[in-house]
Structure 1
């Protein structure tokens, strides 16, 4: 059997017989309508069981079947019809997922999959035109085919009815939907939002502005935002497209949004993505390094050892890529904080701070600044070597002190003498 592409009609005519039209319904003063009690869905062959040339016509017939709306009565004829419709919907999902072709004649049928317009006017016989026009439009049409200006509801009474919002609005709050607890939803939202950003150049500034608003609201108002990691992944893609030199507005994204984001309580849920965004800015303009480090020191955690370890790891990666010129600007305040971390009662914080000296790149940077850095960190390191209770930490500290003694023996002897004198 060959399924030719049907012409646009208002009803599905099953093989061998036509739908019987009973007495038209009478309007009950409600936009809810009831389908024909005798309406049935004609069984159709599966897409995989027909020739490829017949797919177009069969697809349109199945789409029209999926447009049939039942009244929720699962008994009798309607129950069988609902089962047939459900099976057809799942088959169409599998067909599209596996790369099945959707020809252009099927597009109107997809857009009309809704109570109004797709089922045929015979279903609405007896319902007043006023009520028919007040029926909700297709969900697909609401999101893709938006009429300008939006259609008005002819039966809306401002004194009795609640204000009616545009039907597409709940579906278009993409940024708010990023707070969803379902990671699958957030993944698709990320893809959709970045596709919009990439294709609609005129909307890019608007999208960036509203993303920053969401992040700032999370920083200063809300305790938690589920989709912060996904939003930062989008920002990373946006930063990657920034041209050098960076504009002042682009720098403000780093200094006023990304750096303050380090102070949120649940930093661990989005820190890898946040760190990647910061590093992308530094790769494009290394003169921002001083402001980034100063910002990190401003928001350095005081009571959360877990966050402190995240900060130390980020600082370590910044020092690996920093230039000697920029290092000279931040060495004093940075190593004062590192000295405090070395003296931390939390062994993991102390270990992370001490391990900075075991990176070759950082060791090479420090070589030219021993006369500045050793006086800052020596008291903390020397005190740990004498008093700390963790043998692994003591071993790491002694390795660092041995390096200092080899490089600056006189300075280290002087500092050790001064330390012992203060403790007596």
Structure 2
């Protein structure tokens, strides 16, 4: 990586002599003052020169922008930082409007300039206990330049003159690997640009598609089973949502395996809330492509259902509703029993938000139609929990929702409802009778123990 610092009277750190000589031969001028080396006279003209001269000037400006400055020192190289910012702006504008600039010689220079600027070791988090849900992210200090480099690269990839057949020599697997590593940046602005860049590369380079999917797969597996830390999961899932949408039918075995072995286990991590919306979207995209995947997906969610985190339960319930919105009736029949056993447990939850979210299913017309078609199976699973809650729950809002659900069930299948009501009351009476008998037995045992104690003390009980 290249670095230019002010205040270095005898040397230019990290800029090789060959590079400096090349600059001088290309018409750059350098003024070395008594306070140090200061590259203030990089006298390249604006790029609006006659058309035949523009490609060569474009290359020189790309080479110029390979210089990377230290933004941690806010007072150093101010003129040069501003000059580079201005040059990058000029390059962005140029690639948007110009034609004929993208010669074969430009491709390696573009990739080199981008690589010098964006590929770097990401700084460690300020705190080992960094919580992305609570703490403010560390923003990239060099963003004034970095943003323009990303803007330029995106315009370059989107250019009508862009030829993947030439670019693939330089935008290769190594480049993609380095790009994916940057998704761990704490700066959300950078991750947003990276998302666009990777999406464009995936679209343009057919030969890199399988490699990109494999590396994203590896990142997710490492995230789930080793580190539980990676800042760019949401952005990678957003890219995957578009990729999945473009999958050809029938789905390949590797795609189905990715769903079951990678996407479903992503639900287990503690930071699920940071990327759950994007994850749920990917799941639904898969099910819209292949409805037969519904059963393994729902069984996977039930397997990983959170036991101690109410917030995650609410997220799971929301995702399940999205899945049920696209489920086919034939697939619904396969999973209705385990599914509604879990929904019954959620309805009975003492945490009112969990119970409320589960009861909202009965406000969904499509889900209601599925329940009505299968009421003979679902009503017996749900009835006991609903009836008990209607009598015992502490939250009046939940009780009101339960009454509405019971009313809906009664209208769906009044005969079964009456049978279940009678059975429930009979079971409750038996339970009360057993409880009373248990209490009486304990009372007799206590009396016997008391009499035994009195005898041991020499007292004759009357």
TM-score, structure 1 normalization: 0.69
Alignment partner, residue 85 of structure 2? 90
Q: Work out the CA distance in 1 between the residues paired with 2:298 and 2:255.
A: 18
Alignment partner, residue 396 of structure 2? 391
| Richer in helix (by share) | 2
Instruction: Map 1:66-77 onto structure 2 (within 5 A).
Output: none
Q: Work out the CA distance in 2 between the residues paired with 1:243 and 1:309.
A: 33
The verdict on how the C-alpha distance between 1:92 and 1:376 changes in structure 2, with shifts beyond 3 A counting, is: same
Q: Work out the CA distance in 2 between the residues paired with 1:280 and 1:241.
A: 10
The answer to whether the 8 A contact 2:27-2:43 is kept is no
Alignment partner, residue 260 of structure 1? 265
Partner SS, residue 47 of structure 1: coil
Q: Work out the CA distance in 1 between the residues paired with 2:38 and 2:401.
A: 81
Alignment partner, residue 422 of structure 2? 417
Q: Work out the CA distance in 1 between the residues paired with 2:44 and 2:206.
A: 45
Q: Work out the CA distance in 2 between the residues paired with 1:343 and 1:235.
A: 36
* 1:62-108 C-alpha deviation (Å, 9 max, x unpaired): 778778999xxx9xxxx9xx565444323212212334667469959
Q: Work out the CA distance in 1 between the residues paired with 2:295 and 2:108.
A: 59
Q: Work out the CA distance in 1 between the residues paired with 2:331 and 2:256.
A: 17
The answer to whether the 8 A contact 2:263-2:279 is kept is yes
The answer to whether the 8 A contact 1:12-1:61 is kept is no
The verdict on how the C-alpha distance between 1:417 and 1:94 changes in structure 2, with shifts beyond 3 A counting, is: same
The answer to whether the 8 A contact 1:297-1:334 is kept is yes
Unpaired segments ≥5 residues, structure 1: 1-6, 22-33, 114-139, 149-167
The verdict on how the C-alpha distance between 1:306 and 1:66 changes in structure 2, with shifts beyond 3 A counting, is: closer
Alignment partner, residue 374 of structure 1? 379
* 1:211-265 C-alpha deviation (Å, 9 max, x unpaired): 1111011111112221001111122222122111112111101111111111111
Q: Work out the CA distance in 1 between the residues paired with 2:337 and 2:264.
A: 20
How much does 1:52 deviate?
A: 5.0
* 1:332-378 C-alpha deviation (Å, 9 max, x unpaired): 01000000000001101000111111111111111121111111001
The answer to whether the 8 A contact 1:341-1:350 is kept is yes
Partner SS, residue 393 of structure 1: helix
TM-score, structure 2 normalization: 0.64
Q: Work out the CA distance in 2 between the residues paired with 1:266 and 1:410.
A: 46
Alignment partner, residue 155 of structure 1? none
Which of 27, 30, 34 is matched with 1:12 structurally? 27
Partner SS, residue 422 of structure 2: helix
Alignment partner, residue 296 of structure 1? 301
Unpaired segments ≥5 residues, structure 2: 1-21, 114-148, 150-165, 433-462
Which of 322, 330, 340 is matched with 1:335 structurally? 340
Q: Work out the CA distance in 2 between the residues paired with 1:61 and 1:380.
A: 74
Alignment partner, residue 361 of structure 2? 356
Instruction: Map 1:80-159 onto structure 2 (within 5 A).
Output: 85-99=80-94, 103=101, 107=106
Higher relative contact order (CA 8 A, sep 6+): 1
Aligned residues: 342
The verdict on how the C-alpha distance between 1:315 and 1:42 changes in structure 2, with shifts beyond 3 A counting, is: closer
Please tell me the root mean square deviation across aligned C-alpha atoms, in Å: 4.0
Alignment partner, residue 240 of structure 1? 245
* 1:292-345 C-alpha deviation (Å, 9 max, x unpaired): 111111111111111111111111121122111111111101000000000001
Instruction: Map 1:201-216 onto structure 2 (within 5 A).
Output: 201-216=206-221
Q: Work out the CA distance in 2 between the residues paired with 1:263 and 1:279.
A: 18
The verdict on how the C-alpha distance between 1:62 and 1:259 changes in structure 2, with shifts beyond 3 A counting, is: closer
The answer to whether the 8 A contact 1:12-1:65 is kept is no
The verdict on how the C-alpha distance between 1:270 and 1:13 changes in structure 2, with shifts beyond 3 A counting, is: closer
Alignment partner, residue 24 of structure 1? none
Q: Work out the CA distance in 2 between the residues paired with 1:109 and 1:256.
A: 38
How much does 1:188 deviate?
A: 2.4
How much does 1:171 deviate?
A: 9.1
Question: Is 1:305 the counterpart of 2:310 in the alignment?
Answer: yes
The answer to whether the 8 A contact 2:31-2:40 is kept is no
